Amino acid sequence: MARIKLTVAYDGTDFSGWQLQPRQRTVQGVVEKAIMKITHAPARVHGSGRTDSGVHAMGQVAHFNCDDHWCSIPWQRALNGHMPKDVRILHSEVVDDDFHARYSARGKVYEYTLWHHSAFCLPQRRRFVWNCGDVDFETMESAAAILLGTHDFAAFQNVGTVVKTTTRTITSISRRPGITEHETIWRFEANGFLKQMVRIIMSCLVACGRGKLSVEELQLILESADRSKAPATAPPQGLSLISVHYP
């Protein structure tokens, strides 16, 4: 058997997330269906993580196994020929058998896009931003600073996934302008993320930027390890998985 690594981009708007679900349209299901059309055999696709319904990706990583004689085909072009327009394979390659899209990963990068014009949101951007209104960037950056480093992020994890530990290390939180004058992009880099962790952190930072949560209160939320202390989860459409890092 050969192992094929894929880098996948998708618009998550019309998907019920990455993971297979009965009678639901999922990215994993679409990719597996495309593989079967080529090999005429079922293949289980393993992703680096499970993006939620409405969340996008520019660099999701996945792998699957196939018979050796399929190694030489151009998988990127072949799969894209069977993909809907909201999913594309960016890269494909044969990898060693010990590579695993999820368990071999050493870090991930997510970006979350905020829209700041409270009067309107461009129709072309509504699927990819959270219209949060005006916020104070300096306060948000001060709040973000306390989340850097290694912490127990239990207060920033929604239910649904069993993990061995809720400790993660955030190496960077940065901000830059978006593609329009009304947007900012917040970039999060860490050795791993808990379920909806970035969305909960983003909701906390926005609450700080609106003056509804102080930096000191955010510190207490972090130390509490209690999800009920943090604000509601930010909406999914502003979030995108940008890349996954491997050794």
Domain ranges in the chain?
2-95, 107-245
Residue 78 has a pLDDT of 97
Q: With cut-offs at 50, 70 and 90, classify the pLDDT of residue 233.
A: very high
- Residues found in the chain: 247
pLDDT in tens, 78-98: 999 999 999 999 999 999 999
* DSSP codes joined into one string, the chain: -EEEEEEEEE-GGGSS-SS--TTS--HHHHHHHHHHHHHSS----EESS-PPTT-EEEEEEEEEEE-GGGTTS-HHHHHHTTS-TTEEEEEEEEE-TT--TTTT--EEEEEEEEE--TT---GGGTTT-EE-----HHHHHHHHHTT-EEEE-GGG--SS---S--EEEEEEEEEEE-SSTTEEEEEEEES---TTHHHHHHHHHHHHHTTSS-HHHHHHHHHHT-GGGSPPPPPGGGEEEEEEE--
Q: With cut-offs at 50, 70 and 90, classify the pLDDT of residue 21.
A: very high
Measured distance CA(236)–CA(127) in Å, rounded: 9
**Is the predicted pLDDT of residue 160 greater than 90, yes or no?**
no
Burial 110-141 (b: 16+ CB within 10 A, else e): bbbbbbbeeeebeeebeebbbbbeebeeebbb
Residue that wins the pLDDT comparison between 162 and 124: 124
Return the CATH class of domain 2-95: alpha beta
Mean pLDDT of 166-182: 97
Residue 174 has a pLDDT of 98
Calculate the average pLDDT of the chain: 96
Cβ atoms of 231 and 214 closer than 8 Å: no
Measured distance CA(129)–CA(113) in Å, rounded: 5
Mean pLDDT of 179-191: 97
**CATH 1.20.1070.10 at 107-245, yes or no:** no
Mean pLDDT of 10-30: 97
Residues 6 or more apart from 195 whose CB is under 8 A from it? 50, 157, 158, 159, 160, 161
**Is the predicted pLDDT of residue 36 greater than 90, yes or no?**
yes
Q: Given 52, 96, 98, 152, which residue is catalytic?
A: 52
**Is the predicted pLDDT of residue 207 greater than 90, yes or no?**
yes
The verdict on whether residue 10 carries a ligand-binding annotation is no
Tell me which amino acid residue 171 is: T
Q: With cut-offs at 50, 70 and 90, classify the pLDDT of residue 119.
A: confident
Residue 118 has a pLDDT of 84
**Is the predicted pLDDT of residue 246 greater than 80, yes or no?**
yes
Mean pLDDT of 18-38: 97
What is the bridge-based pairing of β-strands 87-95 and 183-190?
unpaired
The answer to whether domain 2-95 and domain 107-245 are alike in fold is yes
Q: With cut-offs at 50, 70 and 90, classify the pLDDT of residue 159.
A: confident
Residue 161 has a pLDDT of 76
Residue 52 is among the residues annotated as catalytic for this protein: yes
Residue 177 has a pLDDT of 97
pLDDT in tens, 42-61: 999 999 999 999 999 999 99
pLDDT in tens, 127-140: 999 999 999 999 99
**Burial class of residue 1 (count of CB atoms within 10 Å of its CB; 0-12, 13-18, 19+):** exposed
